[in-house]
């Protein structure tokens, strides 16, 4: 039982360390570049409203594939786009093509009616890939402050320091036991 508890503790602590390092990577790369972090043509977005439930829940993290051609989406696709000064992720209900200019009518799956605007293809960032991680978006959203960014730099460094210190103490004890 003791061995099982030790293994579970190591797994949980390793998972937390990986999550913290991943969040630190996302924050640092977006801070240094001044843009959103893109990994192999994909971006991670935090969902801050329930407009698309049950497809993805409030507080989830979703991945979107950046648009090569923002005018190539079809009815039923879930897209992320700029609307005023925020990002919105909704489903396309209709595609309009007026004189070669493509625009989209959209609706949140959980909303009663369609959106009151049309989305120009130039405002589209990308398409939802179907990959969702529930609740991680709350943590990702919290990391947007300067204090949280500093903390995300400090915690991995502290964990590495403590791990190194524990290794040194264990090695010193082993040497002392061998002398006896």
User: Tokens at residue 74, please?
Assistant: 């079809």
Q: How far apart are the first and last CA of the chain?
A: 31
Would residue 49 show up in a list of annotated catalytic residues for this protein? yes
Task: Describe the strand order of the beta sheet including 61-66 as a list of residue ranges.
Answer: 38-39, 42-46, 61-66, 124-133, 78-83, 86-98, 101-107, 118-120
Confidence of residue 143 (pLDDT cuts 50, 70, 90): low
- Tell me which of 29, 30, 49, 149 is the catalytic residue: 49
CA distance 47 to 56: 8
The CATH superfamily of 39-133 is: Umud Fragment, subunit A (2.10.109.10)
C-beta separation of 73 from 104 below 8 A: yes
The pLDDT score that the predictor gives to residue 94 is 92
C-beta separation of 111 from 105 below 8 A: no
SS3 156: helix
Domain range summary for the chain, segments of one domain joined by +: 1-35+135-164, 39-133
CA distance 63 to 42: 6
Query: CB atoms < 10 A from the CB of 6, how many?
Result: 10
In order of 8, 12, 77, the CA distances from 29 in angstroms are: 32, 26, 29
Residue carrying the six token digits 């500093």? 150
Q: Is 64 exposed, middle or buried (0-12, 13-18, 19+ CB in 10 A)?
A: buried
The predicted-structure confidence for 48-104, as pLDDT tens digits, reads as follows 888 888 888 888 888 899 888 888 889 999 999 988 888 889 999 999 988 888 899
Confidence of residue 2 (pLDDT cuts 50, 70, 90): confident
The pLDDT score that the predictor gives to residue 4 is 84
119 against 39, higher pLDDT: 119
CA-nearest of 101, 100, 99, 82 to 90 is 82
The predicted-structure confidence for 108-123, as pLDDT tens digits, reads as follows 988 999 889 889 988 8
The pLDDT score that the predictor gives to residue 75 is 93
């Amino acid at each position: 039982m003791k061995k099982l508890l030790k293994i579970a503790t190591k797994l949980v602590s390793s998972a937390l360390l990986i999550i913290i390092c991943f969040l630190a990577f996302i924050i640092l790369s977006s801070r240094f570049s001044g843009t959103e972090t893109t990994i192999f043509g994909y971006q991670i977005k935090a969902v801050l409203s329930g407009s698309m439930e049950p497809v993805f829940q409030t507080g989830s993290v979703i991945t979107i594939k950046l648009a090569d051609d923002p005018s190539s989406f079809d009815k039923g696709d879930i897209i992320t786009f700029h609307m005023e000064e925020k990002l919105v992720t909704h489903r396309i209900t209709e595609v309009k093509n007026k004189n070669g200019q493509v625009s989209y009518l959209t609706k949140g799956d959980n909303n009663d009616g369609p959106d009151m605007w049309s989305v120009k293809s130039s405002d589209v960032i990308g398409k939802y890939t179907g990959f969702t991680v529930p609740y991680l978006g709350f943590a990702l959203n919290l990391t947007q402050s300067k204090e949280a960014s500093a903390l995300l730099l400090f915690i991995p460094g502290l964990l590495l320091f403590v791990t190194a210190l524990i290794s040194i103490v264990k090695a010193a004890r082993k040497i002392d036991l061998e002398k006896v």
